[in-house]
Structure 1
Amino acid sequence: MPQNSLLKYLTFTFLLLFTSLFAIGQVYKISGKVLSASENHAIPYATVVVYNNSKEIIGGGSTNESGFFKIQTEEVGSYIDLSFIGFEKQRINTGFDNQYELNLGTIKLKSTTQQLGEFEVQAEKSTTEFKLDKRVFNVGQDISSTGMSAMELLNNVPSVRVNIEGQISLRGNTGVQILINGKPSVLADEGGNALGTLTSDMIEKIEVITNPSAKYDAEGSSGIINIVLKKEEKKGLNGSISVNTGIPDNHSLGLSLNKRTNNFNLFTQMGVGYRSLPRFEENINRNISSNREISSDGTSYRNETFYNLTLGTDYYINDLNVITLSGNFAYEIEDQPSEYLFTDQDPENNSYAQWIRTENTSATNPKYQYDLQYKKEFKNSEDHTLLFSAQGNFFGKDLDSEFQNKTLVGSTQDAKQKSNSTFSQADYLFKLDYTNPITDHITLETGGQYTLNNVENDFEVSNFNGSEFVIDSNFTNNFDFNQRVLGVYTTSSFEKGLWGLMLGLRIEHTLLDTYLEQGDSTNHQNYTNLFPSIHSSYKISELFSIQAGYSRRIYRPRLWDLNPFLTIRNNFNIRTGNPQLLPEFSDSYEIGGIFIFPKVSLNASVYRLNTTQIIERVSRVENEIVYTSPYNIGTKESTGIEINAKANISNKISVSGDFNYGSFKRKGNFANQDFDFQANQWNARTITKIKLPQQLDLEFTLNYQSVVRNFQGHTIDYAHFDLGARKKFWGGKGVLNFAIRDLFASRIRQTIVRQGDNRLFSFSQRGTFLTLGFSYGFGKGEAMTYSGRRR
């Protein structure tokens, strides 16, 4: 089916699903207020469950901080149960009498400690434990977890951090893959607010995987977080709406809806916005032999108007089979103006020439994706499953740029250039996973995955000769990139008592073809690799567990690593790709321990990473022009320690921190140059959260990155400070957020490169960003911020 026809068909299907969202029968509403019988105080977060005549659960929820609740159901409820830790459960019969709203008034629960003398009520506590290749955070019923959103709950998981703007990181690294029930989901898209429709009472556990086993794609990543939902998910209409603004321009409006019934879970998310991303840059190329220096400085902007629509549904065929169909369409309109001052001078500031180079760039970026998943559970065990998924993604870009030089001093530099780039990328993934717990202690897993990546990029540069633009054949070409990866795996695990062991093996076969039309240049790669893994864990005590693991990973060069096209934005500082790049391979060893105390959690790991065919960016200077390209150069051995800790100093103050120290040794040579060197680097972060009266939260984040060295130079260290404030209204349904990123504009990237007689200096700075947003959640939805998507 042609892509346009397929897009129209999917859009029609999803619009049909969306219009069905609100057409699933009459809604009945039950409300009331819950107080303690002894003290007449409101009971927040009490559980409210609605049953029908067949004693089936048809709805539910919890009270807010004032003790109020409001439940919606799609059929008449027969009775409700109200319960809370330390109180007797109370059952109330309902009767609507031909009306659709029922107010039960004030309901008082009796304490279970009355007339019992000395009696201790213990709630089920949230706990963290090691499970072979992952850490598992089991969500309990303690007060600290009750009523939390999924994002807030993630912030309680060791090694996981969620800042006040909703960005998730694992061990201090962003780019984490978020899964829902073991599979990708648009609900887990960090670019939107769909996670706000999940609350702690829907979540059974959260799994954290820092060193993935052979079951997972061998491609390197920052790690995996898997959110496992309870079987009995809350029904009804849930959602959130948000509006945001900021300086520089960062404005958006978002809506998220989620409708759950006995057989369907329909969800949608839509948003629109505009943002501006300025960046100041300075580059200096100094030749110490000729005493000549060419510099440029100026500000570039990336202004984006964006639209986004997500639609999808889960269809529960029965208790053992579920089908999920979802899709997303996004569209961006870009405008990228910039102006740079170029100066050609000697060390005494005597200018040979000076000119201004301006750029006007416009682009449109359409993107759509679709996802079909089928999951089957077997009757003998809920862990005995078969999961099939098929995903497709398309991204297009049509970019036009025009450049003009205007001479200010010295020799004439006047010139006009323009470029056009037409880019399209299509990615497809097909995956099958089978899990079978053969006995209570032994589990087998097997499966396969096939991915296809197809890219076409046509690039054209034209020069103005005084009367017309003429195509420059030296910088004009068509580039095709096609990659196919087939992987199969099997793992076997044994767990008994306090100890567990998992062995795994993955085989991946890769076919890669690139083609440059001009020059008829091709690059064909065909290779098969084995990726073994072994993981073990042992629980020494209730407070201390250890975990050890080994896995082999691969980093395949990305499109922009391979694409040889250059940018003419700065014709004295040019970056290009390298079509001949080979993949990196890494052997990862890790051993760690986790300590869990009442108010402090500590996770420490020691790791070793041996990498071959390291991809490094190398700069060279020709005729005062700096060219930077990636190459495979030798090996790298890294050893380090990583520590994550969180301390609840009081009920109002908590402090968490991440620390990573590593030393590495590089060996290799390139173009008759010795690239051997060794160095170390470290980074640290602390986050302080303070809860003030009137549901006001403050957050302070301090980040530090040490000097980072490579064989040609180094990047200077920097520190930056972020702060944020959050005010909740109406029992948490309304949230006002304010954040300042990089308060002192100190997140500065400064790089110094030495290459022969040349000294290269580059400087870039984003500056301070302020954001203000308000969001409102309804149903079981939590108020969360929608900020759009970045690509």
Structure 2
Amino acid sequence: MKKLLLLTLTIALFFKAHAQFPGGFGGGAKKTTVTGRITAVILDSLTKKPIDYATVSLINVKDNKSVNGGVTDEKGKLSLQNVSPDAYKLMIGFMGYKTKTILVTTTPGKPDNNMGTIYISSTENVLADVQVQGTKAVIENKIDRMVYNAEADGTNAGGDATDVMRKVPMLSVDVDGNVQLRGGAVRVLINGKPSGTMASSVADALKMIPAEQIKSVEVITSPSAKYDAEGSGGIINIITKKSNAQGVSGTVNASAGTRQNNGAFNLTAKTGRLSINTSLGTNLAYAQKSRVQFENNTRIDSLTKTTFNNISQDGYSKWSRNGYNGSVGVDYDFNAYNNLSSNLKYNNFSNGGPGEADYTINGVKLVNKSDMDMGFSNFDWNVDYKHTTKKEGEEFTISGQLSTGRNTTEFQNEIMGSNFKPINNNNTGKNKEYTAQTDYTYPFSKSTILEVGAKGIFRNISSEFSNESEGDFDYNQDVASAYGVISFKLSKKLNFKGGLRSEYTSISFNTEKAGIQKNDYFNLFPSVIISQTLKGNATLKLSYNRRVQRPSLSYLNPFRNESDQFNVREGRPDLAPELSDNLELGYSTFIKGSVINASVFYRRTGGVIESSITSFKENGVDKTLTSFINVGVAQTYGANVFASYNPKPKWTLMTNLGVNTYEVSNSLTGVSTGTFLNYNIFGRSAYGFGKGYNFELFGVVNSPRRTYQGKTDAMVFYGASFKKDILNKKGSIGINTLNPFTRDLHIKTVNNSVTTDGNRISTLYQSTNIYYPLRSFGVNFSYSFGKLKFTEKKKIKNDDTKQDQQQGGGGMGGGVQQ
């Protein structure tokens, strides 16, 4: 609590300092005038295509000094904020194009100036290298992240966020939707902030988001100390479709298929300095049979005898899945320096259904009938205040967030014609989260920038059991943090960015068996990035950071899930966090329209959390228990190569290859897995035929995945889409398919373990075969109306808890999810 009081004092000092020095480090108050904005659309004069990432400078006519600037977005749109009334020159430049200068004037009576469409032309000496692509770039390689533009990939229509993640470079996704980044755990954000739906299981939360709502996915492998330290592999940020434009604008998307149906609607109304944004989304997946074959062999050695137990299962689960989400946001500019925004978001999702399996227990044949119901709902509320000054880049923000979530698990199963008791149980998990955050950015110059901030997160997780003898579970976690980051130039082409983040975590939990327990710890997380600009637009980057992975509810919840009576699941509240050190060397270059990005990395992770299978005896029957443990230390070496190439102006090829080693060891327990090689391959071909016709193919291969006890076989996904632009390119219609030649995706997992209990030694072999129905065919439609202009607002980012990367359904599911 002392550290939390210290955080409160820190935030209070921020307010006091800001009140005394409203202009940053200046000494006196400034006279504030309402400023405006300059907007424009930059297009290629020949092709009429948008020029994205064109550089724009605003220069004062009186003294010829630059006072503002920016870059265009993917639609060629430009918006310069905080422009004082005066006469300016607007200079537009982009590699391969002639620099264009336009005079522009704003007045106190008309502070906003919409320049309309501005055309720029190619320079004659590089005109031969300019390629007109028939499709929008799906992958963008930026200095600190890689961006996958999901809205430009027609093969995503009719899917959900899980399907989108499978095609993002450097990510690997298993059949349940569990995500890894280069072999390490990740923190998933939505629009730069967490959602309470992620509190129990990332895999389930991703299934709630229709693919049509996703604009892009950012992969950040080397986050600075400004980010919460969560995510040993890095951070994934999902950007949803939004708009912020004068008047009314929006998008409508709908898809129908043999696997699931999706719908998404976004609407923005803006007048003056007030903007209101709302969105609705829904998805409905048909109930399809997933076949599960299971074999569990246990050998028990003791001083007196050796026995063998064999349990086999062959059955199916027929689960459906449906959900909906909605949000409404309000954004208001009081003047050019003060902005207030608020956003409300609600998600609801449910899945489950009946199942039946034939059991063979030591030669005796039985039938098990089951039913499973799982529900998730979450509410997020954000309030954000931002203050800027006339000094370009100076910014002060205060943010607050409230998140409440609820998930329920209900299951029944009965082994017909046996002495085994029917199981009927349920669990309700609740998650409450309160966050306060403040950040301040001060640019000493264009190249020297200081960032500081403080944050407090207060969480309460509770789990209520229907079986009172088990006792309820209550878990409290408070995190206080502060950071400082400085960036500057070491030389003309050598840049440095370094920082330090401190986090103090206070944990207390109560269980029926163990009573009240506490666990407090303090960590420092340094980060350093050095980048060198080379000839030919190439960049070399070296980075180091330290990160943490805290277990979330699905790992901690001691609820005993007996949806399969012979394979019990439960969490462990005494799990320690993972700590990892990451080192990366990256290189990127552009060669005549082609993009190449390559990196090598090393990661050392202590206290790695993995699922663990052990054997135990209950009522004379040998069963297995799946839980989680801190298994040991992992050392990972890896490399990643991404390339994009245009063999013809309208034909784009791209590929991504990632490889990394897997090795876990623990000298105290004797665990030593040896070294294995994991890989994932992504390939895509897109061709524009002209007149709005586009065709795409993609394929993904994930190698076998290792754990300290076993192995899951490789997985392959592939698909295609055909799309036609309609209604003056404001809309499109298309067809798509996923794995058209194979109905089921066959996944085999094998685990081995040895359990010692006194004189009793149990050797366990477990084999699971899942036949997951993945084949689908669908049609889709999309339409945009109004004038769209995307903007980003400062939001809270709680990226500090380890999400469920092991099992869908919060690790408490009773069958295979579709």
- TM-score, with normalisation over the residues of structure 2? 0.70
In the alignment, the residues of structure 1 paired with residue 553 and residue 349 of structure 2 have an alpha-carbon distance, to the nearest angstrom, of 21
How far is 1:562 from its partner?
1.2
The correspondence for 2:353, drawn from 336, 339, 344, is: 336
Tell me: CA distance 1:677–1:109, structure 2 relative to 1, closer, same or farther (3 Å): closer
Q: Secondary structure at the match of 1:497?
A: coil
Q: Which residue of 2 aligns with 1:615?
A: 609
Q: Which residue of 1 aligns with 2:6?
A: none
Match of 1:717 in 2: 714
Letter in 1 for 2:500: L
Q: Distance in 2 between matches of 1:437 and 1:277?
A: 56
Q: Give the aligned length.
A: 642
* Deviation by residue 1:743-782 (Cα, 9 ceiling, x = unmatched): 3246433111122433210122322242432121111359
Match of 1:504 among 496, 499, 503: 499
1:219·1:556 contact (CA, 8 Å) conserved in 2?
yes
SS of residue in 1 equivalent to 2:663: strand
Q: 1: distance between equivalents of 2:139 and 2:436?
A: 29
Give matches, 1:734-773, under 5 Å: 734-743=731-740, 744-745=742-743, 747-756=745-754, 757-770=763-776, 771-773=778-780
Aligned to 2:510: 515
Q: Per-residue deviation at 1:291? A: 5.2
Specify the code of the residue in structure 1 equivalent to 2:748: Q
Equivalent in 693, 713, 728 of residue 725 of structure 2: 728
Q: Find the counterpart in structure 1 of residue 124 from structure 2.
A: 120
Change (3 A) 1:683 1:745: farther
Q: CA deviation at 1:263?
A: 0.2
Q: Which residue of 1 aligns with 2:479?
A: 485
Cα 1:731–1:681, aligned 2, differ >3 Å: closer, same or farther? Answer: same
CA distance in 2, matches of 1:740, 1:112: 40
Q: Distance in 2 between matches of 1:560 and 1:228?
A: 26
Q: CA deviation at 1:530?
A: 0.5
Cα drift, residue 664 of structure 1: 3.8
The 10-residue stretch of structure 1 (269-278 or 554-563) with the greater mean CA deviation from structure 2: 269-278
User: Which residue, out of 411, 430, 444, partners 2:450?
Assistant: 444
1:354 aligns with 2:352: no
The Cα shift of 1:599 comes to 2.6
CA distance in 1, matches of 2:119, 2:344: 49
Where does residue 395 of structure 1 map in the other structure?
405
Distance verdict in 2 for CA 1:511–1:294, change over 3 Å: same
**SS of alignment partner, residue 492 of structure 1:** strand
TM-aligned CA deviation for residue 533 of structure 1 = 1.1
Q: Deviations over 1:351-409 (max 9, x none)?
A: 323222222x345543211111111111121x1111221111111234433322223xx
SS at 2:156's partner residue?
A: coil
Matched with 1:776 is 783
Q: Deviations over 1:302-329 (max 9, x none)?
A: 4244332211111011112111111012
Q: Which residue is equivalent to 2:341?
A: 324
In structure 2, the CA distance between the partners of 1:293 and 1:612, relative to structure 1 (3 Å rule), is same
Are residues 296 and 153 of structure 1, via their aligned partners in 2, closer, same or farther at CA, if it must alter by over 3 Å? Answer: closer
Deviation at 1:515, TM superposition (A): 1.2
Q: What's the counterpart of residue 94 of structure 1?
A: none
Aligned to 2:160: none
**Root-mean-square deviation over aligned CA pairs:** 4.2
Counterpart AA for 1:424: K
SS of structure 1 residue aligned to 2:571: coil
Verify the 8 A CA contact 2:594 2:644 in the aligned structure 1. yes
Q: TM-score, normalised by structure 1?
A: 0.72
Paired with 2:51 and 2:494, the residues of 1 have a C-alpha distance of 38
1:326, 1:371 within 8 Å by CA — same for their partners in 2?
A: yes
1:565 aligns with 2:537: no
1:165 matched to 2:159: no
- Code of the aligned partner of 1:766: Y
d(CA) in 1 for partners of 2:224, 2:131: 34
Whether the aligned pair in 2 keeps the contact of 1:668 and 1:676 (CA below 8 Å) is no
Report what 2:795 is aligned to: none
Q: Amino acid of the residue matched to residue 416 of structure 1?
A: P
2:645 alignment counterpart:
647
Tell me if the contact between 2:135 and 2:694 (Cα under 8 Å) persists in the aligned partners: no
Structure 2 distance, partners of 1:564, 1:120, is 69
- The question of whether the paired residues in 2 share the 8 Å contact of 1:159 and 1:644 is answered with no
Partner of 1:374: 385
Please give the secondary structure, in 2, of the residue aligned with 1:338: strand
Could you say which structure has the larger radius of gyration? 1
Distance 1:772 1:781 in 2: 25
What is the CA–CA distance in structure 1 between the aligned matches of 2:488 and 2:422, rounded to whole Å? 68
| The 10-residue stretch of structure 1 (592-601 or 705-714) with the greater mean CA deviation from structure 2 | 705-714
- Which residue of the partner structure matches residue 675 of structure 1? 672
The 3-state SS of whatever aligns with 1:571 is coil
State the 1:709 CA deviation: 3.0
3-state DSSP of counterpart to 1:218: coil
SS in 2 for 1:508: strand
Q: Corresponding residue for 1:78?
A: none
Q: In the TM superposition, what is the alpha-carbon distance from 1:610 to its structure 2 partner?
A: 0.7
Aligned to 2:570: 576
Partner of 2:314: 297
Do 2:508 and 2:517's aligned partners in 1 also have CA atoms closer than 8 Å? yes
- For residues 706 and 212 of structure 1, do their structure 2 counterparts lie closer, same or farther at Cα, with a shift above 3 Å needed? same
Q: How far is 1:572 from its partner?
A: 1.3
With over 3 angstroms needed to count, the CA separation of the structure-2 counterparts of 1:521 and 1:696, relative to structure 1, is farther
Matched, 1:239 2:250: yes
Report what 1:70 is aligned to: none
For the pair 1:420 / 2:437, whether they are aligned, the reply is no
CA shift at 1:429, angstroms? 2.0
Identify which of structures 1 and 2 has the higher relative contact order when contacts are C-alpha pairs closer than 8 Å and 6+ apart: 2
- Structure 2 residues not aligned, in runs of 5+: 1-42, 53-71, 76-91, 104-116, 158-163, 173-178, 180-185, 197-204, 300-305, 755-762, 791-807, 811-818
- Within 2, Cα distance between the matches of 1:758 and 1:395? 37
Cα distance between partner residues in 2 of 1:456 and 1:185:
18
The residue aligned with 1:275 is 285
